[in-house]
Structure formats: C-alpha cells, structure tokens
Chains A and B, each alone.
Chain A
C-alpha cells in the first residue's frame, strides 16, 4: 500500500505559517509521501520563504512540489524553489524524481502548467505576440511534462500540476475563467504517457474529482476544495498497479 498525501494553494503568509505547521504535522504518519500542488505562498515574496519552511517544518516524509502563479507574483520564484530544495523538497518543473516506498518505486513528474482552456473554448497560437506567448507557454510546459513522464521509470506514476488538465475539476468556477485555470494540453501530455493519478490545485471553487480523456484520475487538491490540510490517496501494492492510459504512438 502506498499512501500519497496532496494539497495545493496553502498560500502561506505572515498569518498562516504556524496553523499550517500544526495542520501538516500528522501527514508523516498518515502518508508515505506528500505532493504540494503550487501556490505555496500568498504573493511569492522572499520574506514568505521562511514562513513556508516553518509551515513544512514537521513534515518528515519525501515531499514534492510545483510552484503556482502566486509563487511567481513577486519574481522571486527561483529563490523560493532554492530554499525549498535546501529543505529537501523536490521542486519539479518539466522533470521527474523517483522515490522508493515500501519496496515500490514511486515517480512524480511535475509542472506548474498554465492556462489556455479546454475543448470548445481554447486559445490558439495566433495573432498578437502576447496571445502566441500565452498559449506557447502552456504548450512548452506540457511538452516538457510529457517528455518527463515518458522517460519516467517507476511502478507508481504520479503527475503533479498547479493548473488543471481537465474542465471537470473546475466545476463550480465561472466557465468564463476556465481558460485561466488550465489547459487540455496538460491532459494530452499525461495521456500520451501513462499515469496513475494527476493532482492539481489553483481552482479554489472547483470540484475534487475528474478524469482525463485517457482515463487517468484527476484530483483538485486546492485547500478550499478539499477543506482539509491534505487528502490521502491510497494505492495497492506493485503487483496490482495498472496504469490508465497508454502511449498514443
């Protein structure tokens, strides 16, 4: 049994570090690894980094993170990631890491992801440079995520995002903002490889459960959605680990 804890959108700031430290304390007993789905800070200020470290100070299981849009807001995302890495957190952007848990290799591929929308309401790389740049950013991150996932060799394959890969987990959000909350390109990247679970955050008013067109379960673990400090997803042992989705080639 592998127990994967996940939460996004902690938004740790000057008023929340101790509360999060206490709320995350049981996670090392409840789970074998922890996934942090971005928006770890309120505005990504360098002053928030020590507060985030305080919030994570009682977590002793392997921890993986992607950054979110809030973590980019102050332009200190590099410093924030460096401090997290120093603390032992694996910060992922278009890359993957493997950890061994109870005899099972668990791989996590991660990316912040970005927006662009879903079937029926998508942006295209057409027109002004700003519009092209918007959609290209998502495409490039999705391509890197797909490559990282295809290269990943692990029994249990997890995908960690901040932005949503499917519209189902946005249910509850105003449909007009869906293009700012995620992109189908992220789901396509996952479905082009194999995975057991995708977790993401970002959509505070969304819903917890969805699935990619290729059949990979998607969970929105934004804290306001799960209404708890983290959710735990359990997978049975390596003998019965079967992946949804197969390589399209």
Chain B
C-alpha cells in the first residue's frame, strides 16, 4: 500500500514537473501597448503596430529573449484619452505588463502618465517625445526612442535654412493649432530672430482645414523665399502643394514624418526639403534591407518605408529585455532602461543612450533630404548633424 502511494506520489510530482517546467520556461515577457491604430490623427502612429508585430514575431521564432518569448498586447485607443487611460490601467493591473508603450496623440499623454505614476511602471513613448524625458531631470518612468524632439528639431532646422539660403532670407513659419506644433514654431521664431533672420509671417492653421489655399495665399502674400513648417504631415505637404499651385517659387523645409520619403518621390520638387532624425530607405543600409525583406514577407499593412520608428523602438525593447533577469519586474526593466546604449545600425546618426537623468538621447543627429531632378532620386541635403541634448 505504502509502495503504491509512494509510486503514485512520484508519478504525480514527475507529471507536475514535466507539465509545468516547460510552461515556466516559456512564460513570456509581457509588454502592453495602448496606441492609436485607428481614429483621427493615427496615420503616423499606426505603422508602429506593424513594426512591433513583425519584429517580435521574428524574435520569438528564434527562441525569444533569454529563452522567453515576448508577448506584445496591443490595444487600439482611437487616440481617445479616456480609452487610453482605461487600457493602460487594464494592461498594468490585469495583464501585469512590465513595460507600457504609448503611441498616441499628445492628448492621451496625461491620463496614461497618471496610471504609470500610480502603479510605478516604465512607459516608453513611440509617438512624440514629451519634454519630461529630457535631461537634466527626466521623469523616472518616461522614456522615448522616436524621431521627434520638440525644442531640439528647430535647433537644426533654423541654422540649416540660414546656411542653405546663402543670400537675403525672408522666412515664413507655419504651424497647426495644436500645442506641440505651435510651441515648436514659437521656439523656431525665437531662434530665427536671435540669428537675425527676418520673419515675414507666421501662420497657424486650425486642425480641421478644408482647403490650404487661403493660408498659402497669405503666406505667399508676405513674400518669403523660405518657409519652415512643423506639424502633421498632411498640413505640411498640403500647404506646400497649395503654395506651388499659387505659383510660389521659394524653398520649403518640413519636418520629415514617416510618409516623407514616399512623398519626396511623388512630388519630385527640388526645393522641397525634409529633415529628421531617421535615415531614409534610399540609404539602403543592411537594416533597411532587412526591414524591407521582413515587411514584404509578412505583408505588413503599411509600406516598409513607414516602419523605421517602430523598428527602432523594437530594437530598444529587445536590448533592454536582454538585460532583464527572469522573472522580469517593472523595477528591473526600469533599471535596465536607465543603462541603455543601442546601436540603431544605420537607422539614426548615432546610438540611443539613456541614463538615469536622460531618457531621450545624449546627442540628437539630424539629416535633411530633398529630391534631385538631375539624379532622379532622393539625395542628402545635409548629412548627420549633431545637436547636443542638454
């Protein structure tokens, strides 16, 4: 009887070990994402989902990170603040994610940050970087790896225009009536005036604009030979096209969103410049080839040219998780994030470096591109230019 019981117990324990040990080994790193896949203003954000999907599908196919798969739980918040807050809370409390990602319009930031502060979970921005990630005292829970950097972007843009203009410069500025765009253009105005540049007009357009021609008419009427615009891509490109329709012959600098590369090819205008911190696929580096290959293989919804920001974010997450011992906790993830130095392998001009006090990067590298009709391709108008982040 005793023998039988002992045998039964051994069998039971063995079964438990056999059944449950692999399950423990395969427990995933849980990452929560609340993002604007659909809804107004989601066009620069939705491709992040594609990039996360294909990147971690490949990682998991190769055995995951430290022997564990990475599970990305993606929720569509339609860029609605209340929805974003509810999803963030659910991901943190119910799903117990160790890292939260937010890729939404800036209106969703405050409610999600509140959740993150309440539950002390690190938050990675894959939309626009908020100033809270900047040094000298970055918020302990907020990190950012994407291209935007308000208060830094114009530090490249205005000197670039000054340099390219080579003669008398009459600059017009354009923003959309949303906080990020307006603040950056106000900052650009300050910088330009400090450099002795004549600002002939500053136009702030309302968000739901039917026709940009009236705004372009006003800009053209002020007689600029350069226009600098900073806002959503739709506004930037539609104002440029309206200006050209009105017969304006000047030069135009716009922030290069994810659509910029394809749009330069469409417009084929030698005086339309875009700038940003991501390299274009026309560089054709090894990483670009890989993104293109994986995107085509997985048949992503968005074109591969729009996946760079999401790919860089995924690279950073992979690097961080590699340095997080099992079992992962938000504290361990935050600790690893504070010691990050990721080589973006040609996707940016330099590495993404995070320390305890700087959750943005130490140096932001900018590049300007334009179309060259003679060469019939996109060319670099100004190569990687460092802007120190301090």
Query: Do A and B belong to a common assembly?
Result: no
Residues of A in contact with B (beta carbons under 8 Å apart): none
Residues of B in contact with A (beta carbons under 8 Å apart): none
